[in-house]
Structure 1
Amino acid sequence: MNRALFLVLTLLVSVTIQGQTFGIPEVEYFNRRQYDGATQNWQVSQSDNDLIYVANNKGLLEFDGNRWQRYGKFITGAVRSVKCIGKRVYAGAHNDFGYFEYDSLQQFRFVSLATNDSLRSLGDVWNIYLWNERIVLHTEKALVIIKDDYVVSVVPNLSRFVSCFLANEMLLVYDEQNGLMELRGNEVFPLVNGDFFADKYITSIIPLSKSKLLITTMNNGAFTWDMTAIEKWKGSVNSLLAEANVFCAVRYNDETMLFGTIQKGLLVTNMSGELLLHIGKDKGLKNNTVLGLFVDNQGAVWCGLDNGIARISLNSSISFLAGYYNIGTGYVQQKYEGDWYFGTNQGLYKIDQKRFEDPLKERTHFIKISGTEGQVWSLYHDDENILCGHNLGVYEVIGEKSRSITPPSVNGVWKFLPIPGHSDKLICGTYEGLIILSKENGRWKFKTKLEGFDKPSRFMDWDEQGRLWVADGYDTAYRLSFSSDYQSLLKTAVYGPTHFKQSVSVKVTKIAQKIVIVGDKGLFCLNEIGVIEPYKKLDAFFKASLYPSQIIEDGLKNLWLFYPEHVELLQYTDADNYKNIILPFIPLKNKLVSSFESVCVPDSSHVFFGIEDGFAHYYLHSYINFRKPFKVHIRSFKGRGDSLAYTYFQNGSSEADASNDLVYKYKNNLFEVEYAAAFFGDDNIEYATFLSSLDETYTEWTPENKRQFSKLREGEYLFAVKARNSYGIESIPHTISFRVLPPWYRTFYAKLAYVLLCLIVLLGTVGIINKRIEINRQKEKLKAKDFYKKKEEQLTNEALKAEQEVIKMRNEKLRSEMQFKEQELASLTVHIVQKNDLLSELQGQLKRIKRIKGQDESERKIESLIQKIGKDIDNESNWQLFERQFEQVHQTFINKLVERHMELTDKEKKLCAYIKMGMASKEIASLMNISTRSVENNRYKLRQKLGLKTGDDLSEYIASIG
């Protein structure tokens, strides 16, 4: 640690340690299961990237602020020494030594410098120093000098090199038989009076000045040496050092020294040898044997123990009277006549001032006052008495005993208040209203319980008019007015939720002599006209309208603001102005007694708080730099399938690490990043991360120290992480870059193949399209041809239909004419038949008249008439007319009949025509002027001529002709 850092620590921390004699700084203990090593831990060192390294019997341990890691397989045997020099971590073990360093793959590898058998037989390496640009290793057999990674000299012992030290640029070695000696060049030389220590086992050497050293021994205490004379150290702690067996020691700063002992744990003294602090097994170390000491760059002390590792917050302004002292939950504390009183849930404890300031005080020095077992709420004292407000009433404390001064009906005394103008009277707030105590003959006695008010009176104070304001901690406050003798209650004014913006919890306090109501929705006060209004004087100190649950003003006019998880100080400056102080009280986060916060400021230097397991002490004159920068490191970066995790350390800037060209295949596109902040002793470290192309800004703050992301597209990525500690200080972001390759189907060659394939497909598509166009063109031609053909057929069909319509109309006309002619033919036929019938009848009658004799002339004329009728009946012209008419109607029949049967006579044709017309034989006989029998005969002959067989119907045959 350089001189500048020592000066800073001196200015900022030395007075802090002076103020920690009341309590014990916070101790963080790590057991072997946490760091996965052996019990004994010998030396501690810190690298330039702020990580802590510990020499452990099972290997080299590394702590990054989040987790421990052990490197044991690279180095043989127990590691006894460790020293961080530059980017290397030098380690010494049994018969082996060398250095750890991150290789090109960011893997922490060990390089052994014990390159031959003689170097591998030197035993344990107990110390490592950087001296005159050379590395010096201390073993009991020899000193090994290394330069540029090569052993340049081995300096053998004279008897046994028990220990070795670097002080004021001198490398001093303690030889068991020759005493204290100095390494010069490649040899050791005796010092003046150095043989004085030949049998005293030197364990440490601390520079007191440039010309004076403090030399500690195992069993003989400490000595001073000014390069010539040796004297017993005159420090008052020296006898304790001899008793405790000092094993190691370091200088903390220009004003303070630390001694690790075998029997007493850690002893802290000033440079004069006055004991300032003692931390042993029962006070947080868990082990009294300290084998190694180291002060990190935050000012914390690391102790390598015989069983475990401890980190002591010696750089904190807060110390604790808790744990080991076992006095219970703290509610109230006060100093009275040289004694300190502490009220807890277990009773009232007392310790005298001298014991209280003694760093070696024990839990037995806290004496419980007899009779006060149980819950203590409050304390009050005057020049003669001290009173205890208890769950069971009021007790007067007398020495180490107590007596109750209230009747059994009085329970739970929250607070004592002197009555203005009445020094012999006290008003006390209880669980159920108010009681009055009066002082008679120098002793306090119970006077009365005030009638008319039975509300819990936990928070109360007087206003300037002598009225008592009371709040029960819920949503209502009361203003009480009393009679002049304070024996009775005159008036009660009630202020409910509507006066306090619906606050569900209100408490009464006094700020600068003014009554202020503290509510969860704001601060309130009574104005000049008697109306409740907001109290805005402190609004500038309340962030986002977050109001404290309680405000307490101390005797120095400072205001203590208590929030659910932390406390703040508004330090009074002048003219009613305040300075907000928060950071020193961060260690109290989540330790205060919720809803029962208490603070005691007995003087201008000390402050006490009640906490869940005792009390905390704050030294008002502490000046600690809480804004020290710190680093965050990427401890592990892995992609899917990685066998190794890559580690990257912040280089102090926000530039991205080269990351060794981290390139990942697309199939390994699942990443896990783990990171850690090298800020120790803080359980509330939070992280925010950013991944380019995925996040628009940093994520929300979270205590999670790892992040996973997957399914990233190919491309360049930048990952950044930053940390924030409990003090609100942010680290510089640590960034690394990496690249994700595209999947095979999005590579350059794949894209080239896609282009070629697309060209092929395009050309094929063009060909197919052209082919389809040609096919469509042919189809269109065929379709057009088919269309025109169908159109032609349609026109033809329409023409045919039209022609058929004409033919149909013509046929209809012909049919009508035919029907008409058939009707005429039928009529003619009927007429001929009727005529013939008539003529036949006339002819018959005339024949009958002729046969009448005697009438010659008449007979002659009748004969002539008969012949004439006969001619008319058989008139050929009638037949020809009938034939013409028949042929017009049945032209096809006649033609077909002639074609088939040319041999038919006209008479037979006539008979066929009559049969065609469906005439009966009788009608045919009339038309042919023959008998019916002759018709039948003629039909028979016709059948033969037509070639009809027996059974064939003549009429059907004739009808079938046409």
Structure 2
Amino acid sequence: MKHPTILILFISLHTIIGFVNLDAQPLISFSKNDYKAASQNWSVSCGNSGHMYFGNSSGLLEFDGISWQLYPSPNASIIRTVAVDSARVYTGGYRELGFWERSDNNKLQYFSLADSVKSQFGTNEEFWSIFTTKNQTIFHSFAGIYLYENEHFSIIKTGGFINFTTLIKDTLYVSIYNEGIYRVENKQLVPVIEDEFLKDKYVRFIAKNALTGMLYIGTESDGLFSYNSNNGQFSTIAANLQSFFKTNKINHGALTNEGNIIIGTILNGIIAFSEQGEIKYHYNNENGLQSNTVLGISFDRFNNIWLALDAGIEYLANTPVNCYKNYIEKDIGAVYSGALYNGDLFLGTNQGLYVKRWDEPNSKFSLVDGTQGQVWDCEIIDNHLFIGHNKGTFISSGNNFSLLSDYSGAYNIKRHPRQQDVLLQGTYNDLIVYRKTQDGWKMSNTISGFNNLTRFIEVDHLGNLWASHFYNGLYKIRLNDELDNVESVIKYDKFEDGPEQLGHLNVFKIENQIVITTGHQLYTYDVLRNTIVPFSFLNGAVGDFKAANRMVPGPNHHYWFVSDKGIAYFKIYANDVSRINFYPKQLFENHLIPDHENIVQLNDTTAMVCLENGYMLLNLNNHYEGTEIELHEIQLRQVNAANKKGDQFPLRIKNNTISLPHSLNNLTLRYSFPLLNGEKVRFQYKIPGLYAQWSALSAHPTIELSRIPSGTYTIEVKAVNNWLKSSKIHQLKLIVNAPWYQTTYAITGYSLLMIGLMLGLKYITSRKIKLKEKRKREEKEKELIQLKNEKLSSELSYKSQKLASSAMSIIKKNEFLLSLKAKMKKHKEYLGNRYPDKYYQEVIDKIDENISGQDDWQLFEANFEQAHEAFLKTMKKKHPELTPSDLRLCAYLRINLTSKDIAPLLGITVRGVENHRYRLRKKLGLTAEDNLTDYILNA
């Protein structure tokens, strides 16, 4: 599932802003970079399908809960107002009003209504509000009310300036400046309030209290009032906020189902409060709102609040994200620990200790001077805040911190269960003892005999000190009574029934019993057997969280378990274990710090999860676990088929079925899921017969299927939230028709083709017989030619062998004669005059005559010419200056003889052969780079 341009709801959220009051609604911002239109938004409305529509300066914006779609305004003007009924989206602007309907490809198409009433328009007629009822659609301009019913208009011209209209239970209320407030009945204006009180007041908000029948009236610059129709009296609402309203100008308002009033201002954002003036929340551009000017307010079907702003769009989720709030802090580093101490929120980070007031959520964190560096632990003991730091241990003294110990790498600090005036602490190298004196807590001593990096420590009911090394196992340490020396140390490398590799071991206490985490299951210390055994009871009671790697105690027998699956909050008392809350890891978006996950319970209702980019506050009173999604089904927004070339064709869905020709068997499906409750959702699909298993979770609501085989399938798609709960499954029937070559027409064609083949078979067979006979004759001729060639090849081979034999015979004979000649010379030298010169010379001449014998050469030449036809003739023709001796050398080179082999044939030394080769190269005109033998072989 993929789509590179889709904007995923709540993935592209800039920031989630929250207050200390976790009941306040979180704010989610969408800027023009998200929805790809103008910054300015004038109005907002929710459709029956859950889609949201916005009147934007660039046109009509549609948001389906996953992606945005902009439809440019028909006359390139600003769309000031938008309203939705069951089938249409109505919009209005400058001298333009009309509606949008879905086309076959599920896109909105505009139809103008202006031509039918343009004659009634004033010079600057502009529509600012639209309302839909069961029977009619109402358009409001400053000069008139346009009632559209049964495709026809009825127009109410008041003669006054209509500065505000609203719909209350299908009744239109109209405020006319300096005249009063009216309602529309039977296409007539009926007075509701005609009172001097409203003189010179611009009404911007009218609502009705369902219980009392009181009208709430908000004015631009004069405040907020209630009107009692029984006695005609006006009363001030939220007197404590009147100066706020007058200063910041009321522009819009709304009434919630709970009876709270929401006011959107021109200068200071949005504020929600009760009729008595109790402020629920207030957002402006200092705490997350993109613009202080609110141009439109509306509710969606889940009672979430949507704001159209002068710059951007805001969303206030009603449920369920008030169970947590994410605080992204860019400048303080990764948060490792924290504490709520004396009304201040402290954060221990990798950059130092930061603090701000808990009751001032919009204030900035400041660094506590002198604490720069890694903070590992924040613990409140005896109304003192202890800070475990890379530099040592700090302790609070009023609003200041002093260094209690300079032993670096201060991790876990614990009160000794048997000695309330003693604290024990693990560090990078030492175990430290602190004692409470009349002057406060002081470092007492280090414990001799144990020097290890100790992350977590616990003391059991027997006084044994348990210490978990960050990398190297678990130790049980027995201390002396003075707590300054180790009496014994037992290291545990393997547990009973435990795996070979235990991984990181951490030690904690639950209900005064030692609990050891391994990442696989929980272990405990069996006192009677003096060994570590699986904690069977707790493993069975906590389910998957037996694989926890961190535990944090909370108040009143409550405990936090942290594992790869997320964080769970348990109540454990005696033999009763119950899970109170569960927060899956997906909720933290991979921002938990690996191997340093931590959660700090700040009070009975709030816990803080430490993150690498800030922190998250959990509302412990809210037990929501994502089940709301199970009541809803995703929606299919768009279907496109494509051919092999990639050409796209939008399809219309009928009865939740798609039928495709085989040539368009590439399909793209785009879904939406307008359950707008602040939760991030991802998507999965499966297609039995193609993909039997659910696909991997994807943030993109688009399915792309390629080369779908012919057949009938059911495409199943669902949405999954961070709690791993699923929506209802959307099913779409898909029929991919067989390719043309498998149709009835194709089969008929195949039959006709077979008949034609059979009719032509006889003709083809007779031709094959004739061709076969002709082929046999040709094969016989080929065999004769082949035999002749084989004979010639055999003769050539015989001649070559004969030539080689001849050459070798001459070589051996000449070698013998040369050897004989050499011996004769030695004999002559030895005998001198005793061997007469006459006889000696006669023998030598006879030997020389046989070495360079013409008969040998003629025999060789005859054999050579048979094997290498016309070679010598060709050489003589190309190089007439060659001597017989040169030609003989060429012949010997032609049969690839070496200089050593040629020397006996010519009756000279090898050096003589080399000189002869050199002279031959010059006669042949060869360069130094040319190879003589190659030249001869290729001649």
Superposition TM-score, scaled by structure 1 size: 0.71
Change (3 A) 1:712 1:488: closer
**1:896-921 deviations in Å (ceiling 9; x for gaps):** xxxxxxxxxxxxxxxxxxxxxxxxxx
Matches within 5 A, 1:836-915: none
Distance 1:699 1:585 in 2: 20
Matches within 5 A, 1:553-568: 553-564=553-564, 566-568=566-568
Shift of 1:156: 1.9
Change (3 A) 1:104 1:259: same
Matches within 5 A, 1:746-825: 746-765=742-761
Matches within 5 A, 1:337-736: 337-352=342-357, 356-357=358-359, 361-364=361-364, 366=365, 368-383=367-382, 385-407=384-406, 410-497=407-494, 500-501=498-499, 502-527=501-526, 528-540=528-540, 547-564=547-564, 566-572=566-572, 575-579=575-579, 581-582=581-582, 587-622=587-622, 624=624, 626-628=626-628, 629-640=631-642, 645-646=650-651, 657-658=654-655, 663-680=659-676, 685-691=681-687, 693-696=689-692, 698-736=694-732
Q: Can you give the 5+ residue segments of structure 2 that lack an aligned partner in the other structure?
A: 1-16, 774-939
Query: Does the 8 Å CA contact 2:105/2:638 hold for their aligned counterparts?
Result: no
One-letter identity of the residue aligned with 1:578 = S
Q: Which residue of 1 aligns with 2:268?
A: 264
Instruction: Please say which structure displays the higher CA radius of gyration.
Output: 1
Change (3 A) 1:387 1:29: same
Change (3 A) 1:507 1:300: farther
Shift of 1:305: 2.0
Distance 1:448 1:530 in 2: 29
Change (3 A) 1:545 1:23: closer
Q: Which residue of 1 aligns with 2:33?
A: 33
Distance 2:571 2:515 in 1: 18
Pick aligned residue for 1:223 from 225, 238, 243: 225
Q: Which residue of 2 aligns with 1:310?
A: 314
Pick aligned residue for 2:298 from 291, 294, 308: 294
Query: Does the 8 Å CA contact 2:352/2:372 hold for their aligned counterparts?
Result: yes
Q: Per the alignment, in what secondary structure is the counterpart of residue 209 of structure 1?
A: coil
Distance 2:484 2:30 in 1: 61
Q: Per the alignment, in what secondary structure is the counterpart of residue 197 of structure 2?
A: helix
Query: Does the 8 Å CA contact 1:238/1:273 hold for their aligned counterparts?
Result: no
Query: Does the 8 Å CA contact 1:412/1:430 hold for their aligned counterparts?
Result: yes
Shift of 1:637: 1.5
Change (3 A) 1:439 1:697: closer
Change (3 A) 1:742 1:418: closer
Matched, 1:283 2:287: yes
Pick aligned residue for 2:145 from 143, 146, 154: 143
Matched, 1:204 2:190: no
Q: Which residue of 2 aligns with 1:889?
A: none
Distance 2:94 2:649 in 1: 29
Shift of 1:740: 4.1
**1:667-699 deviations in Å (ceiling 9; x for gaps):** 333322232333447785332334465344554
Q: Which residue of 2 aligns with 1:130?
A: 132
Distance 2:42 2:538 in 1: 53
Shift of 1:517: 0.7
CA RMSD of aligned residues (A): 3.4
Distance 2:516 2:376 in 1: 21
One-letter identity of the residue aligned with 1:462 = V
Distance 1:195 1:326 in 2: 56
**Greater Cα shift, 473-482 or 122-131:** 122-131
Distance 2:536 2:119 in 1: 80
Q: Which residue of 1 aligns with 2:338?
A: 333
Q: Which residue of 1 aligns with 2:58?
A: 58
Query: Does the 8 Å CA contact 2:350/2:373 hold for their aligned counterparts?
Result: yes
Distance 2:544 2:623 in 1: 29
Query: Does the 8 Å CA contact 1:658/1:736 hold for their aligned counterparts?
Result: no
Change (3 A) 1:332 1:252: farther
Shift of 1:38: 0.6
Query: Does the 8 Å CA contact 1:24/1:319 hold for their aligned counterparts?
Result: no
Distance 1:623 1:214 in 2: 35
Q: Per the alignment, in what secondary structure is the counterpart of residue 281 of structure 1?
A: coil
Superposition TM-score, scaled by structure 2 size: 0.72
Distance 2:588 2:260 in 1: 25
Shift of 1:257: 3.8
**1:119-141 deviations in Å (ceiling 9; x for gaps):** 66573322222346322122212
Q: Per the alignment, in what secondary structure is the counterpart of residue 412 of structure 2?
A: strand
Q: Per the alignment, in what secondary structure is the counterpart of residue 243 of structure 1?
A: helix
Distance 1:463 1:634 in 2: 60
One-letter identity of the residue aligned with 1:97 = L
Change (3 A) 1:382 1:688: closer
Change (3 A) 1:374 1:737: same
Q: Per the alignment, in what secondary structure is the counterpart of residue 547 of structure 2?
A: coil
Distance 2:28 2:196 in 1: 41
Change (3 A) 1:36 1:531: same
Q: Which residue of 1 aligns with 2:96?
A: 96
Distance 2:624 2:195 in 1: 41
Q: Which residue of 1 aligns with 2:814?
A: none
Q: Per the alignment, in what secondary structure is the counterpart of residue 667 of structure 1?
A: helix
Q: Which residue of 1 aligns with 2:852?
A: none
Matched, 1:233 2:213: no
One-letter identity of the residue aligned with 2:310 = D
Q: Per the alignment, in what secondary structure is the counterpart of residue 264 of structure 1?
A: coil
Shift of 1:72: 1.0
Distance 1:82 1:728 in 2: 36
Distance 2:251 2:557 in 1: 48
One-letter identity of the residue aligned with 2:177 = E
Distance 2:695 2:259 in 1: 44
Shift of 1:608: 2.4
Query: Does the 8 Å CA contact 1:476/1:497 hold for their aligned counterparts?
Result: no
Q: Which residue of 2 aligns with 1:885?
A: none
**Greater Cα shift, 267-276 or 77-86:** 267-276
Shift of 1:627: 1.8
Shift of 1:332: 2.7
Shift of 1:381: 3.4
Q: Per the alignment, in what secondary structure is the counterpart of residue 754 of structure 2?
A: helix
One-letter identity of the residue aligned with 1:322 = Y
Distance 2:591 2:196 in 1: 54
Q: Which residue of 2 aligns with 1:162?
A: 163
Shift of 1:161: 1.4
Q: Can you give the 5+ residue segments of structure 1 that lack an aligned partner in the other structure?
A: 1-16, 649-656, 780-962
Distance 1:328 1:25 in 2: 26
